[in-house]
Amino acid sequence: MQFQEFPGQVQSRAKLDSLDAALAATRATLETLAERLGEDEPEHLAAQLPEELAHCLRQDDRGHHFSSDEFFKRVSQRSGAGLPDAIY
């Protein structure tokens, strides 16, 4: 999928108001996922994404163990969305 298509897909599937909200949600989710994944997993996932999003997975802070509740809390904080929206 090309980068230009990605935010529109997220916006549509998550029923978000704007492409900016879709990009914020996508970046927050990928950054939080990168913290959770270990070893080479973030790089494998990044290789499947457009470069404009892949960089969200390329960070040194990874391999943390936390619950799904904590995952959603972090996505909510990063994206600025309320917790129910982050869970959805």
**Domain assignments of the chain as residue spans, ordered by start:** 6-80
* Predicted pLDDT at 62: 80
Confidence of residue 60 (pLDDT cuts 50, 70, 90): confident
Average pLDDT over every residue of 44-61: 89
User: Mean pLDDT over all residues of the chain?
Assistant: 91
Average pLDDT over every residue of 43-69: 90
* Predicted pLDDT at 28: 95
Contacts of 25 (CB under 8 A, 6+ apart): 10, 14, 16, 75, 79, 81, 86
Average pLDDT over every residue of 57-76: 90
pTM of this prediction exceeds 0.85: yes
